[in-house]
Amino acid sequence: MPNVPIITQNDGTKIPAIGLGTYTSLGGDCERSVRDAIDAGYRHIDTAYFYENEEEVGRAIRDKITEGVIKREDIYVVTKLWCHFHDPEKVEYACRKSLKNFGLDYVDLYLMHWPYGYVHRGDNEMFPTKANGDVELSDVDYVDTWKAMEKLVGLGLTKSIGVSNFNSQQLKRLLSNCTIKPIHNQIECHPGLNQKKLIALCKELDLIVTAYCPLGRPDPAKKTPSYLFDPKVQEIGKKYNKSAAQVVLRYLIENGVVPIPKTVTKHRLAENIDVFDFKLSAEDHKHMDTYNTGERLIPMDHALKSIHYPFNIEY
């Protein structure tokens, strides 16, 4: 089983240096992939209320605990507060709802999924829309949402709290207005959007960065993203007896992030976690840097009108 490094976060908690992403992983596929991931050595599972798979993730984890493969304290479970629960009055309710979905007493990390909020039109109405089809944004300040999240730690509902998709200004503002410091910023990060400036800032602020979409949502039919199908990256991989995907994940890890690749395929689960026995050269890094276009896979354009939209500045 791969020897995955463990990272100590600013509140003393520890997180494995790679995890399993579960976005778009649903039903039986999700449950099976989480079981397979645990069997393959994964001890960090990432999901969100928005993904609508917390029940499946929880069932797989509980089954592996029952089988004696893991204890609860062996597995690092991350979930996220969705945008329509940003009203401080709804934060504890939302967290408890996620815990009920999981069938667990606590999560290890609870993240604010986005810095902006939506109005609440029902727990399952993830994108509440106006008559004209626009998503109905709320004007709740993420600082107020954060203050409600801080209470969850005292209640024992989550060990730690953090954010996702926050830009440099939002992080600094939150840090100057919080009682409990976030431990984490989860962001889109892959060779096409390598986020080096934001990663450097997070390091300076003592925040761990998790990379979602680390492989850039591969599409073999279209041979995208280019860095996964480029003969040069495959050539780099051959040098270390690794695949292009393993090269990409290693590049991100060496840039200082915790990648959470998503797959439901057993052999890819094993491949993605097997990235801690080689190191890329400076020349390899230089080549991987050439793919950085800054283009986002998930721009969330519908929230452009929010004063808390995070992608209006460089990082």
- Residues marked active site are found at 51
Read off the DSSP letter of residue 129: B
3-state secondary structure of 45: strand
Helix, strand counts (H, E) of the chain? 11, 12
The label of the residue with tokens 């290890």 reads: 108
- Contact between 161 and 111 (Cβ < 8 Å): yes
Compute CA distances 299 → 153, 247, 249, whole Å. 31, 25, 22
DSSP letters of 170-219?
Answer: HHHHHHTS-SS---EEEEE-BTTB--HHHHHHHHHTT-EEEEESTT---B
Considering only CA atoms, which of 226, 266, 262 is closest in space to residue 244? 226
Torsional class of 27: left (φ above 0), alpha (ψ -120 to 50), beta (otherwise): left
